[in-house]
Structure 1
Amino acid sequence: MEGALERALKGEGVFAFPGVLWVRGPDAPSFLQGQTTRDVRRLKGPTGTLFLNHKGQIEEAATLFPHTEGFLLAPWGRLEDLKARLKRYIVFDQVELVELPLYRLVYADRREALGESGEGAWPSELYPPFALLKGLPLLEAIRGELPQAVGLEGLVDRGKGCYVGQEIMARTEGKAVHRRLVGLQALSPSAALGPLSFEGRAVGEAKLLLPTPFGLLGLGVVRQEVPFGAEVEGDEGRFRLLPWPFGGEAWSEQRS
Structure 2
Amino acid sequence: MSHPSLPKPPYDDHATPALCLLEDQGVLAVSGPDAAKFLQGQVTCDVNALAIGASVGGARCTPKGRMQASFRLLRQDEHSYLLGMPAERVSALQAELSRYAVFFKVKLEDASAQWIRLGLLGELQPLLTQLPEHHSALAVQDNAGLPELWLPQEAATSADTLTRLSECCASASPDRWQLARIRGGFAEVCADTSEHFIPQMFNLQVLGAISFRKGCYTGQEIVARMQYLGKLKRRLYRFALSQGPCPAPGEDIVDADGKVIGEVANAASHADSLEMLAVVQTDAAQSAALSLCQHPQTQLQLLPLPQDAQLAAALQQQQEEKSP
Instruction: Give the TM-score normalised by structure 1.
Output: 0.81
Instruction: Give deviations 1:197-249, integer Å, cap 9, x for gaps.
Output: 22413211233333222333222211111143622133222322413438xxx
Alignment match, 2:12? 6
Alignment match, 1:15? 20
Q: Which amino acid in 2 is paired with 1:106?
A: G
Alignment match, 1:86? 97
SS in structure 2 at match of 1:31: helix
SS in structure 1 at match of 2:100: coil
SS in structure 2 at match of 1:88: helix
Q: Are residues 218 and 19 of structure 1, via their aligned partners in 2, closer, same or farther at CA, if it must alter by over 3 Å?
A: closer
Alignment match, 1:40? 47
Task: Give yes or no for contact 1:20–1:103 (8 Å, CA) kept in 2.
Answer: no
Report which stretch shifted further, 157-166 or 114-123. 114-123
Aligned counterpart for 1:132 among listed residues 153, 176, 182: 182
Instruction: Give deviations 1:38-83, integer Å, cap 9, x for gaps.
Output: 1111112111121111221221122212233423223221133332
Taking the TM superposition and a 5 Å limit, the aligned residue runs for 1:116-127 are 116=152, 117=156, 119=162, 122-127=172-177
Aligned counterpart for 2:115 among listed residues 74, 79, 102: 102
Tell me the distance in 2 between the aligned counterparts of 1:89 and 1:61: 18
Tell me the distance in 2 between the aligned counterparts of 1:94 and 1:55: 26
How many percent identity over aligned positions? 25
1:243 aligns to 2:303 (yes or no):
yes
Q: Are residues 90 and 58 of structure 1, via their aligned partners in 2, closer, same or farther at CA, if it must alter by over 3 Å?
A: same
Taking the TM superposition and a 5 Å limit, the aligned residue runs for 1:41-56 are 41-44=48-51, 45-56=54-65
Q: Which amino acid in 1 is paired with 2:115?
A: L
Structure that is richer in strand per residue? 1
| 1:10, distance to aligned residue in structure 2 (A) | 4.2
Tell me the distance in 1 between the aligned counterparts of 2:109 and 2:32: 10
| 1:168, distance to aligned residue in structure 2 (A) | 0.4
SS in structure 1 at match of 2:232: coil
Q: Which amino acid in 1 is paired with 2:223?
A: M
Q: Which amino acid in 2 is paired with 1:91?
A: V
- What is the RMSD of the two structures over their aligned residues, measured on CA atoms? 2.9
1:114 aligns to 2:150 (yes or no):
yes
Instruction: Give the TM-score normalised by structure 2.
Output: 0.65
Equivalenced residue count is 244
Tell me the distance in 1 between the aligned counterparts of 2:285 and 2:99: 40
Q: Are residues 192 and 21 of structure 1, via their aligned partners in 2, closer, same or farther at CA, if it must alter by over 3 Å?
A: closer
Alignment match, 2:74? 65
Task: Give yes or no for contact 1:230–1:241 (8 Å, CA) kept in 2.
Answer: yes
Alignment match, 1:30? 37
Alignment match, 2:199? 147
Tell me the distance in 1 between the aligned counterparts of 2:247 and 2:45: 35
Alignment match, 2:131? none
Alignment match, 2:320? none
Taking the TM superposition and a 5 Å limit, the aligned residue runs for 1:163-178 are 163-174=217-228, 175-178=230-233
Structure that is richer in helix per residue? 2
Task: Give yes or no for contact 1:36–1:49 (8 Å, CA) kept in 2.
Answer: yes
| 1:135, distance to aligned residue in structure 2 (A) | 3.3
| 1:113, distance to aligned residue in structure 2 (A) | 4.0
